[in-house]
Amino acid sequence: MQSAANTEWGNQSSITAFIFLGFENIQELRVLLFLVFLVIYIVTVTGNMLIIALVMVDQHLHTPMYYFLGNLACLETCYTSTILPRLLSSLLTGDRTISVMGCITQMYFFGSLAAAECYILAAMSYDRYLAICKPLHYATCMTGRFCLQLTAGSWISGLLAISVIVSFVSQLTFCGPNEIDHFFCELTLVIKLSCSDTNVVEFVAFLFASIFTLPPFLLTIISYVLIIATILRISSVTGKQKAFSTCSSHLIVVTIFYGTLMIAYVLPKNNTLRDLNKLFSVFYTVLTPMVNPLIYSLRNKDVKQALKKYASMFLAFPRMQTIRANPFRITPS
């Protein structure tokens, strides 16, 4: 059946663009969706940039945990920027086309950043494991050089993993149909549109996805199993609460990211569940990068203190400028 289809399409010219079907079932809500996604994008970029700024300027946040958090915020700013601007443009103009090369480019950056996030989350999990389970060895193990190596390895691993997959995808021929039933260039859906033999690229995609995403996922799971086991052995309730508070924010982020990602890819790709699949895709591609800064801001004492400190300085700045501009102003008694 596959070879017959390939022969049929092989006689036709290659297509130059794909069409996102996206949210075609609710086109009447296009303006509302545009406003919703625009607000989400603004909040996401603002929240993550704020986290990055706080980690850079506040001396109390110059620790391995917040170093990784700053990298995560930077990664998620880039991550959401590979999808949302294009989605906003299509909702605003109604133009849902994307060139084949543009689609492959989006696939490359989205895939590499998603893979890098898996490694960053694993590095953060290992950091919490050392802090809670091996506190006496934390300072000697989690050195600045080791943090830099973990971060660089996370970014490079993500780039290498998707580079190999995308190089195979770029060699495929696309000659129709050209409709992607999604709001971004999702790898498996793009491969299905090819009229070439896709057995090799599907195997390579599965192999590299397993090699580059399964180890960080398992490391994250193992780290938290050991962390929870250690916390349960603490005798005092106060000690348990203090230990759990140091990793609760990251545990929530990991659960949301992997939970929605796994549901989106485990759900059958049939007509009945395709809209549900898109919904969960929205969660891990759009909503997760937005809520992560909120989670770390609301549940982390150090970040909250830094926010209050610099917010009060920012609010006091106009007042100081007014005093400097009119130092001899007499206040009525």
Q: Over the stretch 220-271, which tens digit does the pLDDT of each residue have? A: 999 999 999 998 888 888 878 887 877 888 888 888 888 877 776 666 666 6
pLDDT at 272: 61
What b-and-e string marks burial along 194-231, b requiring 16 or more CB atoms within 10 Å of the CB? bbbebeebeeebeebbeebbeebbebbeebbebbeebb
Nearest to 113 by CA among 55, 149, 156: 156
Residue 115, pLDDT > 50, answer: yes
pLDDT at 310: 74
What is the full DSSP assignment across 83-100?
THHHHHHHHHH---EEEH
Q: What is the mean pLDDT of residues 188-193?
A: 88
pLDDT at 206: 85
pLDDT at 327: 53
Distance, CA of 90 to CA of 42 (rounded, Å): 17
State the CB neighbour count (10 A cutoff) for residue 260: 19
* Cα end-to-end span (Å), the chain: 92
Higher pLDDT, 268 or 107: 107
Percent of the chain with pLDDT over 90: 25
Picking from 4-13, 30-39, 280-289, 307-316, which range would have the lowest pLDDT averaged per residue? 4-13
Residue 59, pLDDT > 50, answer: yes
**Residue 282, phi then psi, degrees to nearest 5:** -60, -40
**Side-by-side strand order, sheet with 97-99:** 97-99, 17-20, 179-180
pLDDT at 197: 86
Sequence letter at residue 248: S
Higher pLDDT, 220 or 293: 220
Q: Can you read off the two tokens belonging to residue 33? A: 């969706």
Q: Can you read off the two tokens belonging to residue 132? A: 């809670």
Residue 57, pLDDT > 90, answer: no
Q: Can you read off the two tokens belonging to residue 57? A: 């300027």
Residue 300, pLDDT > 90, answer: no
pLDDT digits (tens, 9 = 90+) for 3-46: 444 444 444 457 888 999 877 767 677 889 899 999 999 999 99
2-305, what's its fold? Rhopdopsin 7-helix transmembrane proteins (1.20.1070)
Residue 293 confidence class, pLDDT cut points 50, 70, 90? confident
Contact 217, 118 (CB under 8 A): yes
pLDDT at 2: 44
Distance, CA of 160 to CA of 148 (rounded, Å): 18
* Domain boundaries, given as residue ranges, for the chain: 2-305
Sequence letter at residue 39: V
Q: What is the mean pLDDT of residues 164-180?
A: 87
Q: Give the pTM.
A: 0.83
Contact 203, 184 (CB under 8 A): no
Residue 330, pLDDT > 80, answer: no
Cβ within 8 Å of residue 145, ≥6 positions away: none
Q: Tell me, what DSSP letter sits at residue 17?
A: E
pLDDT at 9: 40
C-alpha of 301 from chain center: 23
Over the Cα atoms of the chain, what is R_g?
24
Range of 65-69, 240-244, 310-314 with top mean pLDDT:
65-69
Distance, CA of 306 to CA of 172 (rounded, Å): 50
pLDDT at 318: 58
Higher pLDDT, 257 or 116: 116
Q: What is the mean pLDDT of residues 49-60?
A: 88
- State the average pLDDT for the chain: 82
Sequence letter at residue 84: L
Higher pLDDT, 272 or 253: 253
Residue 320, pLDDT > 80, answer: no
pLDDT at 71: 93
**Burial tier of 96 (Cβ tally within 10 Å: 0-12, 13-18, 19+):** buried
pLDDT at 317: 56
22: left (phi over 0), alpha (psi -120 to 50) or beta: left
Residue 331, pLDDT > 50, answer: no
Picking from 1-10, 189-198, 205-214, 299-308, which range would have the lowest pLDDT averaged per residue? 1-10
pLDDT at 150: 93
